[in-house]
Amino acid sequence: MLVNFLTDGAFYPDFYLKIKSGENEHIYVCEKVNTFATSVYCTGKALPVGQVLQFFIISLNEEVVLAQGNFPIIGIALAGPGIFLSPTPTDTPDATPSPSYPSYPGSRP
Q: What is the pLDDT of residues 49-85, one digit of tens each?
A: 888 999 999 999 999 999 999 988 776 666 555 544 4
| Spatial strand order in the sheet of 65-72 | 2-6, 39-43, 24-32, 15-21, 52-59, 65-72
Residue 81: predicted pLDDT: 58
Higher pLDDT, 77 or 99: 77
Residue 73: predicted pLDDT: 78
**Rounded to an integer, what is the distance from CA 20 to the centroid of its chain?**
20
Backbone angles phi, psi at 99, to 5 degrees: -70, 150
Q: What is the pLDDT of residues 12-45, one digit of tens each?
A: 788 999 999 989 999 999 988 876 667 888 999 9
Q: Residue 8: CA atoms inside 13 Å, Cβ hemisphere, count?
A: 1
pTM listed for this prediction? 0.63
